[in-house]
Every structure is written in C-alpha cells, then in structure tokens.
C-alpha cells in the first residue's frame, strides 16, 4: 500500500533534499513541512470559487481551475492521500477500531437526542466552576456578544486559535469592522488570514498552498525574502512576527473540541500548542462552542480522543489535549454556546446526524473529488463531503450545486469516526434540492426526457438504433465539440456492430 516513489510530488521526496531534517534516522515529514530551494517560476496559486452574492456556487468551475494548476493539484492530492494512508496505519494498530466508531456514534446520537438536558447541565456546572456562560442564537448574536465582552474589558486586540465555528460566524470580518485586531495563532490559519482567504480544510487550513505561495504571502505581509521559500525560514519569520502580538494581546479566544456536561469543563486539541497560548497569555479567555460539542461524561472523552487525531492526521494523539476547567486566579473565562442553525438541523429527519461531526477532516482527506478540487472550490465554510451535507442546511440555494460534486463512492462514510452516513445524505440532499426546485431547469428537462424515453421500450429501441448509427458515422469534430461534456477530455465509447438486444433477436430469436 506504500505509494511508489514516482507517484510522489517532488516536494515530498527526500532523496535529493539537502534541507530535509532527520531525527533518530527518520525524516520529519509533517504534513506541512519538508522544504526545497525555490524554482525560478513558481506556479501561481489557483483561487477558490467565485462568489456572487446568493447565486449558486459553481464548484465545478473552480475545481477545473484548480486542476489546471497541476503542481498544486498533484501536491494537494498526494499530501491528503498521505494523511489517509497514515490514518489507515493507525486504524490497523487498534484492534477495536470499528467498535470505537460505533461507540462514538452512539454517544453522539444519545447526546444529540438529549441535548437540552446536557446543555443545561453543562451550563450549571461551568457556572459553578466560575465560568461566565452566554447563549447565542446565531452568528450575529455570537459576534455582538463577544464584542460586548471585549468592550467591557477595553480590549483592542485578540489572539485566537483555530475554530471553524468562528469561520461560520464571519467573526474576523466582524471584528475588523468594529476596530478590534484579531491575530490567528494556528500557523496555517495565520497564513490564510494574511492572504485574506478562508481555510480550505478543517484541520490543515492552508493545505492547498505550495511553499512558494506562502513565501509570496509572507513577503507581502511580514516582509520575508520573496525568493526564499524554505519552510523553516518562513515558520521562524512568522513566529518572530507573531510572538510580540501574542504577548501584548488584551484577550484570548479558543474554540472547543469537546465540552463535558458532568464537569462543566471543555477540551481543545491542537498540535502547535497555540490554543494554550491564546487561552493562557491574556487574562481574559473567551471560548466559542457549538452546542453539538457536548458529551455527557469525562470517560466518553477517551473514545473521541483515541479517534480524533488518528482519523485527522494519522497520528495517535494531538500534541496538546488541553482541559479548561475555569478561570485562572485574577483572570476571567467566558463561554459562548452557539446555535447558528444547529437546532433547526437537529429537526431534519434525514440530516440531523450530520451534527455528530467532530471536524476531523478524514472525509476530506479520502474524498477523491475534494483532493482534486481544493477546499476553496466549494465557496463555503465547510468543504468536502461533510460540507456537501452541512452547507445546504444553512443556504439551500447558494449551495445547491454542492451535493452534486460527488461520485457517491462512499469512502467518506467509511472513514468517518462517528459513522455519519455522509454519502447517503449527499444522495438524499439531491432529492431534497430537486423537490425544492433548486436544480437548473435544463437538468430537469433532460431528466424528464430521459425518464420518458426509458419507460417506453419501443421509443427507446428506436433511439438506441439512431444513436448507434450517429456514433459510427459522425466525423470526430462533431463528437468532440465543446458542447459534448463526455468527449471533451476523454474518448467516446466505440459503438459495437449491434446492441445486445439485436444480437439476442438475431441469435436467440426463437426463445421467450
């Protein structure tokens, strides 16, 4: 199952890499590491989906541009496939892996079906730990609430760790509009912030960028040498630029991976330790928590922690699994519990189990369409398979094309550590979107015509005969014109002399 060397992108090869770092005889090959000298003309980074207000996102168009940048596409596909392989290796090391998945799924389903009780239990216990607990119905309420807390403390700058919930809320843009400086402390997220781009992946937010893209962003924003794309140089430069901001920040913010109802505490998992900096350096710590992050008891955490990083990055555990239990002496801790469409989703019979998601990104890493499209092609907070089933719940019109960006291959459901039936929900969303008239008119006409033809045997036979003749006799330029989506990038099938049907008539005609 090892990838042969000729399939690897040059950036992932160790053989001729003078800059590679070794420890105990092993090359350090973190997903975002490994470095080589810059080539003369780096391939420019393809940008994400074009967003025009509420118009449906054209994922296929953005994906085609990503594929048209072969260096990026190849690196992206191979880097994420590498994560998938590492995940498989970890999985094989755990005999009870499939049981763990079932257990994690059952805990989440139980919690989601008793969510009101567990949320109130969590709130009461957190309050008795000395934490201030707030409730936000939607993104706007969340942003205003956090702004209010910061204003009360006279805070002008905020360091924060990675949080998909704050991406959902458009938090950075809001903070910019009220004059508060936000500094992302996750390296990948900081790269994306400096490039004014959304994260393209829930765990590795800048995975679609080559080193040369990062060198370009940093040279433009923090003054690094534009000709130097050495990973260690760039990381160190970022560290030097950001540390003073972290030390001087007025407030810190984190997301949350798991909130434990029985203890009123919460857990944040990172690999860079940046959540701990964000939470512990300033006196004020605010945590934004989606209401689906609750688990009933501390012992349940063991199930999820064993699954999370193995599924996400193929590592046994995240470098840091930090438990936050209350404010430090002299400090203050606030939690904002955010709904933002979750209660509504909980009421959708076919789609509520998408709330089990623990944001590991395994479905993205395994998705052959995502790996070749880049996360920004989805034009939404959540990309990849989980995005296809979450995004339409927030806006079925704008994200109406997304559930079609899938071959329904089902690999996503199999890697999901909480056993969300992702591909079945993608299929169900297609039906739902047709029902809601959110599918292009031309497609509807096409499908209606197909349905009529395929339900009338005689008409169907006549059409097939005509199609055979057409394929056999039309000149090549007619078959491969720009309107024929089959033939643009692949050859059309060679038409046989006769269909099975006519062969049967000719050879077994006496039967029946």
Partner 1 sequence: MRIGLFIPCYIDAFSPEVGIATLELLERLGHEVVYPRDQTCCGQPMANSGFNAEATDTKALFVRNFSGFDYVVAPSGSCVQHVRDDFDAIEQTAEVKEVRSPTVELVEFLHDILKVEAFPWARFPHRIGLHHNCGTLRRLGHQTPSELHEPFFSKPRDLLSKVAGIEFVTPARPDECCGFGGTFSVFDEVVSTKMGYDKVSDHARAGAEYIVSADSSCMMHQQGCAERIGLPIKFIHIAQILNGASA
Binding to partner 1, residues 97-126 (CB under 8 A)? 97-98
Q: Which stretch binds partner 1 (CB under 8 A): 85-93, 176-184, 312-320, 342-350?
A: 85-93
**CB-wise, 166 or 373, nearer to partner 1?**
373
**CB-wise, 149 or 405, nearer to partner 1?**
405
Q: Identify residues 221-240 at the interface with partner 1 (CB under 8 A).
A: none
Q: Which of 279, 338, 405, 422 binds partner 1 (CB under 8 A)?
A: 405
| CA distance to 32, 48, 94, per residue, from 191 (Å) | 12, 16, 35
**For the chain, counts of helices (H) and of strands (E):** 22, 12
Q: Which of 155, 369, 420, 422 binds partner 1 (CB under 8 A)?
A: 369
Secondary structure of residue 337 in the 3-state scheme: strand
DSSP per residue, 23-82: ETTEE---TT----PPPSSPPPPPP-----TTSPP-HHHHHHHHHTSHHHHHHHHHHHHH
| Interface with partner 1, residue 2, by CB under 8 A | yes
Q: Identify residues 428-487 at the interface with partner 1 (CB under 8 A).
A: 429-434, 439, 443-444, 447-448, 450-455, 457, 460, 464, 467-468, 485-487
Residue given tokens 């092993």 in the structure block: 26
Q: Identify residues 59-78 at the interface with partner 1 (CB under 8 A).
A: 59-60, 63-64, 67, 73, 77
Q: Which two tokens mark 96?
A: 């009870």
Smallest separation (angstroms) from partner 1 to the CB of 29: 17
Smallest separation (angstroms) from partner 1 to the CB of 353: 18
Secondary structure of residue 216 in the 3-state scheme: helix
Q: Which stretch binds partner 1 (CB under 8 A): 41-49, 94-102, 125-133, 233-241?
A: 94-102
| Interface with partner 1, residue 500, by CB under 8 A | yes
In the stretch 329-368, what mask flags binding to partner 1 with x, by CB under 8 A?
Answer: -------------------------------------x-x
| Interface with partner 1, residue 88, by CB under 8 A | yes
**CB-wise, 221 or 499, nearer to partner 1?**
499
Contact, 352 vs 345, CB < 8 A? Answer: yes
| Interface with partner 1, residue 92, by CB under 8 A | yes
307 contact partners, CB below 8 Å, separation of at least 6 = 100, 101, 104, 358, 360, 417, 418
Question: First and final CA of the chain: distance in angstroms?
Answer: 49
- Taking the CA atoms of the chain, what radius of gyration do you get in angstroms? 26
DSSP lists the bridge partners of residue 27 as 22
**CB-wise, 226 or 457, nearer to partner 1?**
457
Task: Tell me the site size for partner 1, rule CB under 8 A.
Answer: 83
| Interface with partner 1, residue 427, by CB under 8 A | yes
Smallest separation (angstroms) from partner 1 to the CB of 512: 7
Smallest separation (angstroms) from partner 1 to the CB of 300: 21
- Sign of the four-CA dihedral 319, 324, 325, 329: positive
- Sign of the four-CA dihedral 128, 141, 184, 367: positive
Q: Which of 20, 395, 404, 479 binds partner 1 (CB under 8 A)?
A: 404
DSSP lists the bridge partners of residue 369 as none
Which uninterrupted H or E stretch holds 452?
helix 441-454
Smallest separation (angstroms) from partner 1 to the CB of 98: 5
Contact, 202 vs 364, CB < 8 A? Answer: yes
**CB-wise, 222 or 464, nearer to partner 1?**
464
| Interface with partner 1, residue 492, by CB under 8 A | yes
Contact, 313 vs 365, CB < 8 A? Answer: no
Q: Which of 25, 330, 347, 493 binds partner 1 (CB under 8 A)?
A: 493
- Cβ neighbour number for residue 502 with a 10 Å cutoff: 15
Which uninterrupted H or E stretch holds 345?
helix 342-346
- Cβ neighbour number for residue 506 with a 10 Å cutoff: 9
Residue given tokens 């029985």 in the structure block: 262
Smallest separation (angstroms) from partner 1 to the CB of 341: 22
Smallest separation (angstroms) from partner 1 to the CB of 470: 12
**CB-wise, 220 or 501, nearer to partner 1?**
501
Q: Which of 20, 372, 394, 396 binds partner 1 (CB under 8 A)?
A: 372
Q: Which of 111, 192, 271, 411 binds partner 1 (CB under 8 A)?
A: 411
| Interface with partner 1, residue 54, by CB under 8 A | no
Contact, 219 vs 194, CB < 8 A? Answer: no
Please state at what angle helix 298-312 crosses helix 70-92, rounded to 10 degrees: 140
Q: Which stretch binds partner 1 (CB under 8 A): 91-99, 209-217, 250-258, 338-346?
A: 91-99
């Amino acid at each position: 199952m090892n990838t042969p060397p000729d399939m690897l992108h040059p950036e992932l090869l160790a053989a001729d890499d003078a800059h590679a770092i070794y420890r105990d005889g092993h090359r350090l090959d973190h997903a975002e590491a490994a470095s080589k000298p810059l080539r003369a003309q780096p391939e420019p980074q393809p940008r994400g989906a074009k967003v025009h207000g509420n118009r449906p996102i054209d994922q296929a168009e953005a994906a085609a541009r990503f594929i048209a940048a072969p260096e990026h596409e190849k690196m992206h596909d191979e880097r994420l496939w590498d994560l998938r392989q590492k995940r498989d290796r970890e999985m094989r090391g755990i005999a009870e892996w499939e049981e763990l998945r079932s257990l994690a799924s059952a805990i989440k389903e139980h919690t989601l079906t008793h969510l009101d009780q567990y949320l109130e239990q969590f709130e009461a216990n957190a309050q008795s730990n000395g934490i201030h607990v707030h409730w936000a119905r939607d993104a706007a309420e969340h942003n205003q609430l956090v702004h209010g807390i910061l204003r009360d403390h006279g805070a002008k700058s905020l360091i924060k760790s990675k949080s998909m919930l704050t991406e959902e809320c458009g938090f950075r843009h809001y903070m910019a509009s009220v004059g508060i400086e936000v500094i992302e402390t996750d390296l990948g997220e900081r790269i994306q912030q400096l490039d004014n781009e959304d994260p393209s992946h829930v765990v590795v937010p800048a995975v679609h960028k080559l080193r040369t893209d990062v060198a370009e962003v940093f040279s433009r924003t923090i003054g690094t040498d534009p000709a130097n794309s050495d990973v260690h140089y760039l990381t160190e430069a970022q560290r030097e630029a950001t540390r003073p901001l972290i030390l001087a920040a007025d407030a810190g913010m984190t997301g949350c991976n798991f909130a434990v109802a029985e203890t009123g505490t919460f857990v944040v998992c990172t690999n860079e330790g940046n959540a701990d900096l964000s939470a512990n350096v300033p006196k004020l710590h605010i945590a934004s928590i989606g209401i689906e992050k609750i688990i009933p008891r501390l012992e349940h955490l063991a199930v999820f922690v064993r699954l999370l990083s193995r599924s996400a990055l193929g590592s046994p555990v995240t470098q840091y699994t930090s438990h936050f239990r209350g404010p430090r002496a002299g400090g203050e801790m606030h939690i904002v519990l955010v709904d933002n469409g979750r209660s509504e989703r909980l009421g959708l019979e076919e789609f509520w189990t998408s709330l089990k998601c623990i944001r590991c990104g395994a479905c993205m890493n395994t998705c052959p369409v995502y790996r070749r499209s880049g996360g920004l092609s989805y034009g939404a907070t959540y990309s990849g398979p989980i995005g296809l089933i979450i995004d339409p719940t927030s806006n079925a019109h704008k994200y109406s094309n997304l559930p079609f960006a899938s071959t329904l291959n089902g690999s996503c459901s199999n890697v999901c550590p909480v056993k969300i039936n992702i591909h079945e929900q993608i299929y169900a969303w297609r039906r739902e979107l047709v029902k809601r008239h959110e599918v292009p008119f031309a497609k509807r006409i096409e499908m209606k015509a197909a349905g009529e033809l395929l339900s009338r045997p005689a008409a169907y036979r006549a059409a097939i005969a005509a199609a055979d003749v057409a394929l056999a006799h039309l000149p090549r330029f007619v078959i491969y014109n720009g309107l024929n989506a089959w033939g643009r990038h692949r050859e059309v099938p060679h038409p046989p002399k006769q269909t099975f049907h006519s062969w049967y008539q000719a050879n077994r005609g006496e039967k029946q």
